[in-house]
Amino acid sequence: MGLFRLAAANPQVEPVLLLAEAMGLTGIRAETVATVARAYHPHTATGPGTDQAAADRAVAELVTCCGRRADERTAARICLLVQSAEATAALRAAAREHGSVQAALRLAPPVRHTRRISPDGAELLLELGGDLAFGAGAHACPGRTHALAMVAGLLGEDSP
């Protein structure tokens, strides 16, 4: 079942759980993914408030759900869950608030900025939104189509 139909059939389910189901993963808990995201996202402050031991336990739990193999495939699957969970949930909330997925992307993109490092080492903050809500070019989000389809399904909109 495609993400759009899966989301349309389960509009109350957390988007990250729908993505996990679409990937054939069982036993994934949204809070486990959120724990990993808080510890490992580059834009998240780590330090005294970060429970690294809890994050390590959460990663171990996700590895178990991915077949108990700590390999590249498992890392990619966990990365996909972690990177998409918060952004997809935010897009869903913004789409409800603004009336549609397209309006949400224009008015309240779930990821407002991304960072790049220039050749001279300077940090560049790039704004995202509208047509650039999922980035562009070599750094475009590979999950754009899936995220839009999932949120449209959750909201009962037509698939993009």
Judge whether 160 lies within some domain.
no
Judge whether 146 lies within some domain.
yes
Quote the percentage of the chain above a pLDDT of 90.
27
CATH number for the domain spanning 36: value is: 1.10.630.10
Half-sphere exposure of 3 (CA within 13 A, CB side): 22
> In degrees rounded to 5, what are phi and psi of residue 130?
55, -125
Give the model's pLDDT for residue 67: 96
By residue range, what is the domain housing residue 80?
3-155
- Report CA torsion sign: 134, 111, 71, 145: negative
Query: pLDDT tens for residues 30-43?
Result: 999 988 888 876 55
Judge whether 60 lies within some domain.
yes
Mean pLDDT of 104-112: 87
Cα separation, 51 vs 63, in Å, equals 19
Judge whether 91 lies within some domain.
yes
Judge whether 81 lies within some domain.
yes
**Where are any strands of DSSP class E within the chain?**
113-117, 123-127
Judge whether 23 lies within some domain.
yes
Contact, 38 vs 31, CB < 8 A? no
Q: In the predicted model, is pLDDT for residue 48 greater than 50?
A: no
Give the model's pLDDT for residue 10: 81
Closest residue by Cα to residue 157 from 108, 110, 113, 91: 91
Domain count, the chain: 1
